[in-house]
Structure 1
Amino acid sequence: MTNDVLKRLEAQSLSKQKDFIGNIAKRLGRPVVTERPKHPYQGAPAFWNAFDLPLEERIALFSENWGKAGGHVVRLETMDDAKAWIVGKAAELGAKRLLRQRQDELDALALEAALPEAEVVAWDEPPMEDRRAVAAGADIGLVVVDRAVAYTGSLMVTSSARKGRSVSLLPTALFAIVPVERLATRLGEALRPLDATPRAQLPAGVHFISGPSRSADIENDLTIGVHGPGVVFAILVG
């Protein structure tokens, strides 16, 4: 088609649109709006941006919302306490393989020595082509979250070459360590730092976890753990 034909078709379309809207306005007894309405506010209002709960209230609200989604909360004081809890729970579950992210906090726990009866694997240890299969065969996935959000009861984890998303998506159970200083009140608090991050430095992925995996696709029959961990623990430390 030539440009003249395209312009003529566009004019005809706009004319029909104008007539259509005009007919509706006439039937409603209202004038046709010809200017875009003004929006004096953009984004969250000031009162919501200023909303910030004290720490203990954040912890209580997160625990409540996380529990409503089927997750479990453990409150501990130190990372040494977290290590002892992880070792005990892994033994209780009879875990044969624990897959963890390559994170400094997890390196310091030295779980390989603390769990001699289980295979403890860091994400970046197996060859790249084998990592997904290793994750799918793991009994426990272990991560330290980037942020947690009290108001939504969710965890935020990012992925990179050293932090595979499969660690939190494929094992049977997920243990997520949440340093309490990373627990925000609102979702915007967790997302705002990403807005200020240069594009080249953004993580490969940003994932939000709100309880165990669940599916009700087939006849609305709710099933837990079909597409990911069926048991999830948020381990609040601090």
Structure 2
Amino acid sequence: MVTEHQQWLAQLEKKSIEKQEQFMNDIASKLRRPRQRQAPTQPFRGAPDFWTEMEWDEEKRIQAFTDNFVSVGAHIARVKNMEEVSQFIANKSHELSARYIIRQNEQALKDLGLEEQLPEVQISVWNSQADENWKARAAEADIGVVMADYATAYTGSVTVLSSPEKGRSVSLLPTVLIIIIPVDQLYTRLGETLDRFDEVGRENLPAGIHFISGPSRSSDIENDLTIGVHGPGIVYGLIMG
């Protein structure tokens, strides 16, 4: 019985291989070239020199990032310092009638003084209390405030790292996301950001590395574009400096 079963499996495998061969031969015939039986040699590895050497000046980086970020439905504002950031958040909170804001647990964001600016708004600080359900608090928030770790002009993307003080839920769950982007952390190419992770080594990588390129966009259902399904539907990038 075992032998018959093995013979049956061998016949199935043989038929499967024959079908695969016929399929690949048909492709080669339509392309009018012989079958490629070995992996082609790759004389070049990684990005070419002209790409790794490309570096834009500050104003071009800002303009390219702005164009790319806005093109996917996000918003950009230029601010000089954290004082103007605080004022922007306060104004936007009044405009949106926000009642609940959550921010990452960083000193720079503490210095914004949102509690004094917005006494009528509940301000929560991620992971500041051990017995709180912080994912639920982030999901309830009208606005999430995070500090970008890096940004890339060529792709119009912001990089935000996770840590116990910087929960990813702050950027994923609120209705509106405000990202503060220090201009000295805005690079030309994505490779410049990725190089930072190579430098720290695998053992020192953060729990999460998140690339944000505007508001949540999904076309999974019948190619119907929907905003805000898998994350904030409104995103503001504040380029500071």
Same fold (TM over 0.5): yes
Distance 1:203 1:211 in 2: 22
Structure 2 residue aligned with 1:157: 160
- Which residue of 211, 222, 225 corresponds with 1:222? 225
Distance 2:31 2:151 in 1: 49
Whether contact under 8 Å (1:213, 1:226) holds in the other structure is yes
Give aligned pairs, total. 233
- Which residue of 184, 188, 204 corresponds with 1:201? 204
| Aligned CA distance change for structure 1 residues 129 and 54 (closer, same or farther; 3 Å) | same
Q: Deviations over 1:4-43 (max 9, x none)?
A: x9xxx8xx89x979x8799788998867766653322111
Whether contact under 8 Å (2:74, 2:235) holds in the other structure is yes
Structure 2 residue aligned with 1:47: 50
Look up the equivalent residue of 2:142 and give its one-letter code: D
| Aligned CA distance change for structure 1 residues 153 and 29 (closer, same or farther; 3 Å) | closer
- Structure 1 unaligned runs (5+)? none
- Which residue of 188, 212, 216 corresponds with 2:215? 212
> What TM-score, normalized to structure 1?
0.86
- Structure 2 unaligned runs (5+)? none
Superposed displacement of residue 99, structure 1:
0.4
Structure 2 residue aligned with 1:133: 136
Q: CA RMSD in A?
A: 2.8
Q: How does 1:68-147 map to 2 (within 5 A)?
A: 68-127=71-130, 130-147=133-150
Superposed displacement of residue 180, structure 1:
0.6
Structure 1 residue aligned with 2:177: 174
Matched residue SS, 1:109: coil
Superposed displacement of residue 104, structure 1:
1.9
Distance 2:87 2:101 in 1: 15
Superposed displacement of residue 175, structure 1:
0.4
Distance 2:24 2:185 in 1: 54
Superposed displacement of residue 174, structure 1:
0.3
Structure 2 residue aligned with 1:236: 239
Q: Deviations over 1:75-110 (max 9, x none)?
A: 011111111111111122111111000112102112
Whether contact under 8 Å (1:21, 1:32) holds in the other structure is no
Superposed displacement of residue 205, structure 1:
0.2
Structure 2 residue aligned with 1:64: 67
- Which residue of 182, 186, 190 corresponds with 1:187? 190
Distance 2:23 2:118 in 1: 70
Matched residue SS, 1:39: coil
Mean Cα displacement is larger for which, 111-120 or 65-74?
Answer: 111-120
Superposed displacement of residue 163, structure 1:
0.5
Matched residue SS, 1:160: coil
Matched residue SS, 2:180: strand
Look up the equivalent residue of 1:165 and give its one-letter code: R
> What TM-score, normalized to structure 2?
0.85
Whether contact under 8 Å (1:76, 1:235) holds in the other structure is yes
Q: Structure 1 vs Structure 2: percent identity of aligned residues? A: 47
